[in-house]
Structure 1
Amino acid sequence: MSRAVVFAYHNVGVRCLKVLLAQGVDVALVVTHEDNPNENIWFGSVAQVCRDYDIPFITPENPNVPEVEQRIAGLKPDFLFSFYYRNMLKATLLESAKYGAFNMHGSLLPKYRGRVPVNWAIIKGETETGATLHVMNVKPDNGPLVDQQAIPILPDDTAEEVFEKVTVAAEICLNRALPGLLNGTAQFVQQDLSLGAYFGGRKAEDGRIDWNQSITQVHNLVRAVTHPYPGAFCDTAQGRLILWRTRILQATGQAPRAALMAEHDKLIATTAQGGFLQILEAELNGQPLTTQMVSGFPGRTLLLSE
């Protein structure tokens, strides 16, 4: 029986850990994170899976410290796996596994290396993403590929919907690749890093809407940062506007300015580039935005930029 130490968090961590258990891997230790009380915890708990299956787990702030390194080395793992664990693992940990360290990344590498790949793929208007199992080294997301599983991104998919599909893709990818890893027959393919790029993390402020962009770009931002994320927003004369759900009615067309209007029973936004975006769910100063509210503004219009 192969022995593994697993670094895991989030839904991908939950599902991939269960794949290891289902295929008979001896999970000697799980390293996970304490949930941050200031974060919206909308995802599954790796720690709870460990409790359910009587797996030892620890939650160090930094795993790259001698006490953790020594504990893992003492377990003599055959494999080390990282499934959506948020900290970088340094060489001492990566080299502690007899047959190597492997990471599950939420994109089709080499595209969207780095942080929050699902959100970035939506922002950039991709129609496909997926999950990639790859060899880990000290540089993020650039080791040889073991396996990949693609999923579609539909035009109105939100980040949570895409992440649900990526979670399933990760489970399929690992379940398919694991037997080859365990029996030593897996084939690795070196990445061509020129075919992708590295992306950094995102903050709530990165959800600010630029109304000089196209309707499609605004729509992509909205669906990339909607619930459970902080939302796409802008500041207006009437207060802060947050868009939660939108639909493109017309990607191009004449529009003299960026504005939000009440037309019959619909809320319609335009950008400086033209086109028409239906606002399906939004809030203004913390209150649900309605056509009646916008109808009360001068000209039945809320200006979105100067």
Structure 2
Amino acid sequence: MRVVMFGYQTWGHKTLEALIGSDHEVALVVTHPVSEQRYESIWADSVEDLARSNGIDVELAQRPTPELIARVKLAEPDIIVANNWRTWLPRELFDLPPHGTLNLHDSLLPRYTGFSPVIWSMISGASETGLTAHRMDDDLDTGDVLVQKSVPIGPTDTATELVGATIDLIPEVLLDALGQIESGTATWTPQNLEERTFFHKRSERDSLIDWTWPAEDLDRFVRALSDPYPNAYTFVRGQRLRITKARVSRGIYGGTPGRIFIKEADGMVIVAGPNAHRGQNHGLVLERVRTDDDVEHNALDFFPHGGGYLTDGADRAPEDLVAR
């Protein structure tokens, strides 16, 4: 089939790479200009460079314009393929080819519609993530599903590992879907939108640790914000501190959430969880932390003893005078 591809970053790069290696013809590639925005500088393999190095026409655009729509019409695609295109496409465009537009979304739709789906799936405690090929329609990620592949979320996985795993699914899912469409064997399954969950774009505020969360949730939170993503962070003595490695404590610890408490094995226990004063929760054991000068520390070097509190930065906690 003759394909026009809309895509950006590593997701778009992997999609174009799969198309180039297939029997399909890529007539035009549409991608966004390079951005300095923090999240867009992560997983930043260039779709533009890959297309140009393979002699494929490229259009750079932030959003569809009448001129861009006219350019796509001239390419006469049988289908549009989209992956990580960051702005809304109008019906005039996504319904233009005979087979419409096939969109790839890195979750198991209808769950985790929207932004940063792998990160949000980890934070919320999902047991799996994956990749969905679906037909684009007027709403975000709501069209009929053609192919889905899942990836389990393990107890020590990081978002970085899982994003890599879902990116690796792109060739299989894409070429399976295109093969079914081309052969006329595609069976489209409407999504049950009553099961839809829709997550917003992430910002720096979304990486701030809330010590009233259970330690099990905080452990996932830290792993969901693994390098190169902006890490989970807290404040100590008014200074920001990023948490790069942590685990759930073996012991049960009580008191006030955020209390820097006591050494356990190779880390420092932070009291955590709802109703921590009842003494029924595990703590979060910090193992590695990073200061804002980008120096990483063993937690026990940074916290040689217990005492004091980790906070949300909204206040400036007084010096801890309690006997340690």
- TM-score (normalizing by structure 2): 0.87
CA distance change for structure 1 residues 265 and 115 in 2, over 3 Å: closer, same or farther? closer
> Once the two structures are superposed, what CA deviation does each residue of 1:125-170 show, in whole Å capped at 9, x if it has no partner?
1120100000001201111001000011112211111100111222
Q: Which moved more, 1:208-217 or 1:33-42?
A: 33-42
Where structure 2 has 5 or more consecutive residues not aligned to the other structure, the ranges are: 312-316, 318-324
| Residue of structure 1 equivalent to 2:10 | 11
List aligned pairs for 1:43-122, cutoff 5 A.
Answer: 43-62=44-63, 64-122=64-122
Equivalent position amino acid for 2:148 in 1: Q
Shift of 1:42: 3.5
| Residue of structure 1 equivalent to 2:314 | none
Shift of 1:262: 5.7
| Residue of structure 2 equivalent to 1:36 | 35
List aligned pairs for 1:224-263, cutoff 5 A.
Answer: 224-237=224-237, 239-250=239-250, 253-257=252-256, 258-261=258-261, 263=263
| Residue of structure 2 equivalent to 1:294 | 303
In the alignment, the residues of structure 1 paired with residue 292 and residue 95 of structure 2 have an alpha-carbon distance, to the nearest angstrom, of 52
Q: Which moved more, 1:271-280 or 1:189-198?
A: 271-280
| Residue of structure 2 equivalent to 1:304 | 310
CA distance change for structure 1 residues 213 and 192 in 2, over 3 Å: closer, same or farther? same
Equivalent position amino acid for 1:300 in 2: G
SS at match of 1:289: strand
Identity of paired residues, percent? 28
In the alignment, the residues of structure 2 paired with residue 133 and residue 169 of structure 1 have an alpha-carbon distance, to the nearest angstrom, of 11
In the alignment, the residues of structure 2 paired with residue 147 and residue 277 of structure 1 have an alpha-carbon distance, to the nearest angstrom, of 39
| Residue of structure 2 equivalent to 1:279 | 286
| Residue of structure 1 equivalent to 2:153 | 153
Q: Which moved more, 1:14-23 or 1:129-138?
A: 14-23
In the alignment, the residues of structure 2 paired with residue 44 and residue 301 of structure 1 have an alpha-carbon distance, to the nearest angstrom, of 45
In the alignment, the residues of structure 1 paired with residue 253 and residue 60 of structure 2 have an alpha-carbon distance, to the nearest angstrom, of 55
| Residue of structure 2 equivalent to 1:208 | 208
Shift of 1:265: 4.3
Q: Which moved more, 1:76-85 or 1:268-277?
A: 268-277
| Residue of structure 1 equivalent to 2:22 | 23
The answer to whether the 8 A contact 2:145-2:188 is kept is yes
In the alignment, the residues of structure 2 paired with residue 284 and residue 303 of structure 1 have an alpha-carbon distance, to the nearest angstrom, of 16
SS at match of 2:303: helix
In the alignment, the residues of structure 1 paired with residue 43 and residue 261 of structure 2 have an alpha-carbon distance, to the nearest angstrom, of 33
In the alignment, the residues of structure 1 paired with residue 210 and residue 130 of structure 2 have an alpha-carbon distance, to the nearest angstrom, of 28
Shift of 1:107: 0.4
In the alignment, the residues of structure 1 paired with residue 262 and residue 291 of structure 2 have an alpha-carbon distance, to the nearest angstrom, of 14
| Residue of structure 2 equivalent to 1:143 | 143
Shift of 1:196: 2.4
Equivalent position amino acid for 2:219 in 1: H
The answer to whether the 8 A contact 2:266-2:287 is kept is no
Q: Which moved more, 1:281-290 or 1:199-208?
A: 281-290
Count matched residues: 300
Q: Which moved more, 1:258-267 or 1:87-96?
A: 258-267
In the alignment, the residues of structure 2 paired with residue 175 and residue 80 of structure 1 have an alpha-carbon distance, to the nearest angstrom, of 13
Shift of 1:192: 0.6
Equivalent position amino acid for 1:289 in 2: H
Q: Which moved more, 1:67-76 or 1:217-226?
A: 217-226
In the alignment, the residues of structure 2 paired with residue 80 and residue 138 of structure 1 have an alpha-carbon distance, to the nearest angstrom, of 15
> Once the two structures are superposed, what CA deviation does each residue of 1:209-248 show, in whole Å capped at 9, x if it has no partner?
1111110121122122221111111222251111112222
> Once the two structures are superposed, what CA deviation does each residue of 1:252-283 show, in whole Å capped at 9, x if it has no partner?
72321222346264233221443132323212
The answer to whether the 8 A contact 1:76-1:98 is kept is no
In the alignment, the residues of structure 1 paired with residue 22 and residue 303 of structure 2 have an alpha-carbon distance, to the nearest angstrom, of 57
- TM-score (normalizing by structure 1): 0.91
In the alignment, the residues of structure 2 paired with residue 105 and residue 243 of structure 1 have an alpha-carbon distance, to the nearest angstrom, of 29
